[in-house]
Amino acid sequence: MNNSYESVMARKNEIMRKSVGIDFDKFETGHIGFDYEALLKEGNLSLEIIKEIQQNNGVGNTPLKECKNITALARKVAKPGYGARIFIKDEALNDSGSFKARRASISCYQAKKLGFKGVIAATSGNYGAAVASQAAKYGLKCIIVQECYDSHGIGQPEIIEKARACEAYGAEVIQLSVGPELFYKFLLLLEETGYFNASLYTPYGIMGIETLGKELIDDCLKLTGKEPDMVVCTNAGGGNLTGTARGIKKTTDKVITIVGSSVNLKGLHMADDLDFNKKSFTTGHTGFGLPFIINPDRSDVPRSSARPLRYIDRYVTVNQGEVFFMTEALAILEGIERGPAGNTSLAAAFSLSQELKQDQIIIVQETEYTSAGKHHQAQLSFARENGICIYFGDPQDEIPGESIVLPKAINMIKAIDLDLDSIRKKYLHNQILKSNIICQTDIDFLVVETNTSRDFVMTELKKYNVKVED
Ligand SMILES: Cc1ncc(COP(=O)(O)O)c(C=O)c1O
- Over the stretch 234-273, which tens digit does the pLDDT of each residue have? 999 999 999 999 999 999 999 999 999 999 999 998 878 8
- Over the stretch 433-466, which tens digit does the pLDDT of each residue have? 899 899 999 999 999 999 999 999 999 999 998 8
What is the largest distance, in Å, between two alpha-carbon atoms of the chain? Answer: 70
Q: Which domain holds residue 176?
A: 5-17+98-203
- What is the domain count for the chain? 3
Residue 295 lies in a domain: yes
- Beta strand 172-177 with 141-149 is parallel
Mean pLDDT of 26-52: 96
**141 and 235 assigned to the same domain:** no
Which of 171, 203, 235 is the last residue before a domain boundary?
203
pLDDT of residue 431: 94
How distant is the alpha carbon of residue 200 from its chain centre? 9
Residue 461 lies in a domain: yes
Rounded (10°) angle between helices 126-138 and 100-113: 40
Answer whether residue 415 shows pLDDT above 90.
yes
**240 and 198 assigned to the same domain:** no
Which atom of ligand 1 is least distant from the CA of 237?
A: 9
**309 and 424 assigned to the same domain:** no
Sequence-distant (≥ 6) Cβ neighbours of residue 399 within 8 angstroms: 267
Residue 303 Cα to ligand 1 middle (Å) = 19
**249 and 378 assigned to the same domain:** yes
Residue 128 lies in a domain: yes
Please tell me the distance from the alpha carbon of residue 301 to that of residue 304, in angstroms, as a whole number.
6
**283 and 191 assigned to the same domain:** no
pLDDT of residue 201: 96
pLDDT of residue 179: 80
pLDDT of residue 180: 78
**229 and 286 assigned to the same domain:** yes
Which residue minimizes the CA distance to atom 16 of ligand 1? 126
Residue 28 lies in a domain: no
Please tell me the distance from the alpha carbon of residue 108 to that of residue 142, in angstroms, as a whole number.
10
pLDDT of residue 269: 87
**109 and 224 assigned to the same domain:** no
* 311-314 LR contacts (CB < 8 Å, sep 24+): 311/241, 311/242, 311/245, 311/246, 311/249, 311/258, 311/451, 312/235, 312/241, 312/245, 312/258, 312/259, 312/260, 312/420, 312/451, 313/257, 313/258, 313/259, 314/257, 314/258, 314/259, 314/260, 314/417, 314/420
- Over the stretch 177-214, which tens digit does the pLDDT of each residue have? 888 788 899 999 999 999 999 999 999 999 999 999 99
Which atom of ligand 1 is least distant from the CA of 99?
A: 1
**279 and 413 assigned to the same domain:** yes
CATH of the domain at 160: 3.40.50.1100
Residue 334 Cα to ligand 1 middle (Å) = 23
Q: Which residues surround ligand 1 with Cβ inside 6 Å?
A: 98, 100, 125-126, 234-240, 283-284, 306, 341-342, 366, 368
Which of 171, 186, 203 is the last residue before a domain boundary?
203
Please tell me the distance from the alpha carbon of residue 284 to that of residue 267, in angstroms, as a whole number.
16
The H or E element that residue 90 is part of is none
pTM above 0.95, yes or no: yes
**175 and 142 assigned to the same domain:** yes
Which of 156, 182, 203 is the last residue before a domain boundary?
203
- Over the stretch 268-303, which tens digit does the pLDDT of each residue have? 988 788 899 999 999 999 999 999 999 999 888 999
Give the chain's mean pLDDT.
Answer: 96
Residue 40 lies in a domain: no
Residue 350 Cα to ligand 1 middle (Å) = 19
Which atom of ligand 1 is least distant from the CA of 91?
A: 1
Which atom of ligand 1 is least distant from the CA of 308?
A: 11
Candidates 258, 247, 212, 207; CA nearest to 103 is: 207
